[in-house]
Structure 1
Amino acid sequence: MKSLLIILFFLISSQSFGQWTYEKWVTEAKTNIRLRPKYGLVEKTKEQKEVDQEFIASTMNNEKLHGDRTLASNQMIELGFQYLYKGDLKTAMYRFNQAYLLDSANADVFWGYGAIYMTLSNQEKAREQYEEGLKLNAENTRLLTDYGTYFFVKYFEGDHSKDKNGKDNLDRAIEILLSSYRIDTKNQNTLYKLSVCYLNKKDCENARKFYNLCKDEGGQPIAEEFTTELNKNCP
């Protein structure tokens, strides 16, 4: 069942990311700081700083933003995810870094950075980004839900080690997803992932509960195959 559930859990885009491996990404990032989160905090050249200021000024000239740099940053993050879903990781990272330029305190920037590393199958780098973002905003549900996803992936990959409180990675995934759910009870992504986690835990009552809650909100993430799997294992 696990092989099916991991596919359903991520709802991976049909687009191919095959041109990128983490190793290739790191190699290119050595000469392209735009591929590093926060530009690698590298001291930029005078020309690079001028380009940044021109970008900020041009962006903030948009009257619809009303001078709100966080709103402008959020728009860049949205664009970044659009490129990510199309399989264009490089442009996605460019947009996430531009979002950082506009508002370095926007926790959602780290949601974007984490998504890049998850796509590159480097879960530990993704975790670092999620944790940095959560330091800025501990109640950011997008970060919390994807942070919970990190622990589910660890569990799926066979890491059943336990923390000092005796919780394994599946338990931690559920704990973090539940904390996200308590903040936003209508997030379909969170509800669906909770259902998947509970099905992995063979907790049919909660798997059904969060499945139905997700359906009530529209059920957009739910794949037909998951419904079949749930019905088979939790009749």
Structure 2
Amino acid sequence: MKYTITCILLLITTLIFGQQITYSNWKKEAKTEIRLLPKYGNAVKTKEQKTSDQELIKAYLEKAGTNRKASDLLVKQGFDYLYKQDLKTAMYRFNQAWLLDSTNADVFWGFGAIYFSFEDFESAMQQYDEGLKLNANSSNILTDKATVYMTRFMENHGDKDFNLAINNFKKSYSIDPKNQNTLFKMSVCYFVKKDCENAWKYYNECKKLGGKPITKEYTEALTQGCKK
């Protein structure tokens, strides 16, 4: 059972992986590098920085057509770099996305993902909450916020964190029932609580949609722990 719980914790925190930079070094560099802080740390920029920003905005508007489309493109690039473990470039892209459209909630999804990957869950939650103020119906942000609660539950076994996780997963599911990340993690949540019926329910729904997030290890754990 110990192996299973450890395995599940790794599954539910899929954004935590080996980094190219430690968090302590990240915070040290961020003292002089505003691009490593959300919204550039709200710093007053130099004339040269402002000129560079305008050139970036112009280039991406020519490429994407509108501020929101350009911002969405940069968010996607940010996550591409995040999954490649290049967190610095990912943060640069998320900040550029914010520069193009500060009302884009997905930018804060990206900021939160950076902090989540460093296991700074408090800072991640702050970014998710800021994003939800812009779009309370963001399935992606709700799912990642639920993941923070689930991670806390795996560490302290507090029912409050589990209930908050489930409530956020359910809200995300009601908004987008085809979000495979949500379905997979809901299955994991219920499996941890030994609710086999719901664990299989959301596992099968995810599988029908392609089952992209499902790992071989989880399928084996679910099959052994929740035999039909």
- TM tier relative to shorter chain: over 0.9
Partner secondary structure for residue 76 of structure 1: helix
For the pair 1:3 / 2:6, whether they are aligned, the reply is yes
The amino acid of 2:37's aligned partner reads R
1:58, CA displacement in angstroms?
1.4
Residue equivalent to 1:16: 18
Q: Go from structure 1 to structure 2 and tell me whether the alpha carbon gap of 1:141 and 1:116 turns closer, same or farther (over 3 Å shift).
A: same
Structure 1 residues 1-235: aligned runs within 5 Å: 1-12=4-15, 16-17=18-19, 19-62=20-63, 65-66=64-65, 68-158=66-156, 160=158, 168-235=160-227
1:156 partner amino acid: M
What CA distance in whole angstroms lies between the structure 1 residues aligned with 2:46 and 2:15?
38
In structure 2, the gaps of 5 or more residues are none
Q: 1:201 and 1:130 mapped to 2: Cα distance?
A: 25
Counterpart CA distance in 2 for 1:215 and 1:118 is 26
**Secondary structure, counterpart of 1:190 in structure 2:** helix
Q: Which digits, 9 at most, give the CA deviation of each residue in 1:144-184, with x for residues without a partner?
A: 00000010111112262xxxxxx511111111001000000
Question: Is residue 15–residue 116 contact of structure 2 (8 Å, CA) maintained in 1?
Answer: no
Q: Distance in 1 between matches of 2:15 and 2:58?
A: 36
Does the Cα contact within 8 Å between 2:13 and 2:151 map onto a contact in 1? no
Q: Using the TM superposition, name which of 201-210 and 150-159 deviates more.
A: 150-159
What's the CA shift for 1:11?
Answer: 3.5
Q: Measure the CA separation in 2 of the matches of 1:117 and 1:224.
A: 27
CA distance in 1, matches of 2:211, 2:223: 16
In the alignment of these two chains, the number of paired residues is 224
What is the match of residue 163 of structure 1?
none
> What SS class does the counterpart of residue 74 from structure 1 fall into?
helix
CA contact (8 A) 1:196 1:207 kept: yes
Normalising by structure 1, what TM-score? 0.92
- Provide the rounded CA distance (Å) in 1 between the counterparts of 2:213 and 2:62: 37
Could you tell me whether the CA contact under 8 Å between 1:198 and 1:206 is conserved in 2? yes
Structure-2 separation of matches of 1:92 and 1:134: 21
Q: 1:19-41 CA distances to partner (integer Å, 9 max, x unpaired)?
A: 32222111100000000000011
Q: Which residue in the other structure is 1:164 paired with?
A: none
TM-score (structure 2 length as normaliser):
0.95
Percent identity, please: 51
Give the distance between the partners of 2:70 and 2:13, measured in 1 at CA: 28
Between Structure 1 and Structure 2, the one with more helix by share is: 2
